[in-house]
Amino acid sequence: MDLADLTRELVAIPSHEDESQAGDFVAAWLRDHTDTAVTHDDHGNVIARKGSGDESLALVGHHDVVPPDDEQVDADGDYVISQQDGRLYGRGTADMKGPLAAAMQTFATADPTGGELVFASFAGEEQGGVGCRAAIADGFSVDSAVVVEGSTGYSRPAVTDVAVAHKGRRGSTIVAEGEAAHASEVTAGENAIYRATDAVDVVRDLDFPTAEVLGHDLQGSVAVTEIDGGSAWNVIPEHCEVTVDERTVPGERAPLDRVEAIDGVSWRVDQDLPPMACGDAEFADAVLAVARDEQDGDPEHVVKPHATDAGWLAAEGTDCVVVGAAEPGEAHTADESVAIEVVERCRRIYDGVVESWLG
């Protein structure tokens, strides 16, 4: 099947609320096109393996998508797909059913002789890596992985780069408790909003975390993004919450627990998506060499600002790189699209990485 046609079939399957049908499709296609054992587990993950040896390499993607915009579905609730000027338009074309289709074809045709090739399409990536985390808990482990998230257009337009690191995200909440009183008697209570703003001042003064990965400097960030407190215009507030968005880097976190030195203030972590850093320069260089051979541009090692399943894998010791068709600003948009030429390029890169790394 033509890669563009496979992408269309995969994109046409709604997978923002329930990705089981998309998982069924991926598993059935692999069973039809390979003679390997294919597992579609209770978590919704699709995993297949071929070859054997001490070295293992995985092609990793996901088959769930974020909810579509109104114009991306028709009256029957089906996804709308169109093609124009060499691009496929529709929810999931870039993130990430185009490159996932490329990885499926690479796995189907590969003949690894120097190790084990693993294909993994995880469920629930858009919900915080639910499927990947479940697979790891069940024992999923590989030495190296190419995660097929977007890496195109980072160093220059239309060039598919190789991401050797990405930031993570830690979302947390500062909770300030006080004592309510009538607003005409200010000293009779303890103003929770004042305590919360004292905590905000602590956050404002924190240095952003930094790290270096294979010669690339990463800088995280910390920002207060929401504040909610008070019950009425004439009541001293007894409760206030502040939301903090932290973009994390490998090996360092902002010391947000310092806010707990303020009376009545506590801090809790609500979400912690880990960053990723490739620890194997040889693997990263080998993938970059293939990427250079398979396109006219001059790709580079780059850093992604977004968290992916590569963070969960890297935390368990897998050396990951990210190579995919999505360009900055394409994913999760109302006019999401992917260049067919770039998806085909990714297929060639995945082919080349398997051949060069597993023989």
Confidence of residue 5 (pLDDT cuts 50, 70, 90): very high
Q: Which of 187, 160, 6 is nearest to 98 (CA)?
A: 6
CB count in 10 Å sphere of residue 348: 17
Amino acid, single-letter form, for residue 274? P
Q: How many domains does the chain have?
A: 2
pLDDT of residue 7: 97
pLDDT of residue 119: 98
- 1 pLDDT above the threshold of 80: no
Judged by DSSP in three states, 22 sits in: helix
Same domain, 172 and 262: yes
pLDDT of residue 76: 86
Same domain, 331 and 348: yes
Q: How far is CA 81 from CA 5, 20, 113, 204, in A?
A: 11, 20, 38, 45
CA angle 37, 7, 128 (to 5 degrees): 70
Once rounded to an integer, what is the mean pLDDT over residues 318-344? Answer: 95
pLDDT of residue 108: 98
pLDDT of residue 330: 85
Same domain, 240 and 326: no
For residue 218, the domain's CATH number is: 3.30.70.360
Confidence of residue 78 (pLDDT cuts 50, 70, 90): confident
Ramachandran angles phi, psi of 128, nearest 5°: 95, 25
Put residue 256 in one of left, alpha, beta given phi > 0 → left and psi -120 to 50 → alpha: alpha
Quote the CA–CA distance of 101 and 10 in Å, as a whole number: 8
- 255 pLDDT above the threshold of 80: yes
Q: Residue 39's beta-bridge partner residues?
A: 47
Same domain, 261 and 283: no
pLDDT of residue 359: 82
pLDDT of residue 208: 95
Once rounded to an integer, what is the mean pLDDT over residues 189-195? Answer: 98
Same domain, 147 and 196: no
pLDDT of residue 77: 85
Same domain, 156 and 190: no
Same domain, 161 and 172: no
Quote the CA–CA distance of 226 and 232 in Å, as a whole number: 19
pLDDT in tens, 112-171: 999 999 999 999 999 999 999 999 999 999 999 999 999 999 999 999 999 999 999 999
In the chain, the percentage of residues whose pLDDT exceeds 70 is: 100
Domain closes at, from 239, 257, 272: 272
- 61 pLDDT above the threshold of 90: yes
For residue 340, the domain's CATH number is: 3.40.630.10
Confidence of residue 233 (pLDDT cuts 50, 70, 90): very high
Put residue 168 in one of left, alpha, beta given phi > 0 → left and psi -120 to 50 → alpha: beta
Place of tokens 């499927």: 131
Once rounded to an integer, what is the mean pLDDT over residues 210-232? Answer: 95
pLDDT of residue 103: 98
Same domain, 325 and 232: no
pLDDT in tens, 272-315: 999 999 999 999 999 999 999 999 989 999 999 989 999 999 99
Q: Look at strands 162-166 and 301-304 and give their pairing.
A: parallel
Quote the CA–CA distance of 324 and 11 in Å, as a whole number: 16
In the chain, the percentage of residues whose pLDDT exceeds 90 is: 95
Domain that holds residue 48: 3-167+275-358
For the ranges 44-48, 203-207, 268-272, 327-331, the lowest mean pLDDT is seen at: 327-331
Ramachandran angles phi, psi of 291, nearest 5°: -60, -35
pLDDT of residue 104: 98
Q: Residue 234's beta-bridge partner residues?
A: none
325 near 87, Cβ under 8 Å?
Answer: no
Domain closes at, from 211, 239, 272: 272
Quote the CA–CA distance of 274 and 248 in Å, as a whole number: 7
pLDDT of residue 132: 98
- The H helix count followed by the E strand count for the chain is 8, 20
Domain closes at, from 272, 305, 324: 272
Q: How far is CA 245 from CA 34, 173, 222, 272, 295, in A?
A: 44, 9, 6, 10, 37
Average model confidence (pLDDT) for the chain? 96
Q: Residue 84's beta-bridge partner residues?
A: 87
Quote the CA–CA distance of 335 and 346 in Å, as a whole number: 21
- Half-sphere exposure (CA, 13 Å, Cβ side) for 162? 28
pLDDT of residue 272: 96
Confidence of residue 75 (pLDDT cuts 50, 70, 90): confident
292: CB partners within 8 A, 6+ apart: 298, 299
Confidence of residue 329 (pLDDT cuts 50, 70, 90): confident
- 342 pLDDT above the threshold of 80: yes
Query: Whole-model pTM?
Result: 0.92
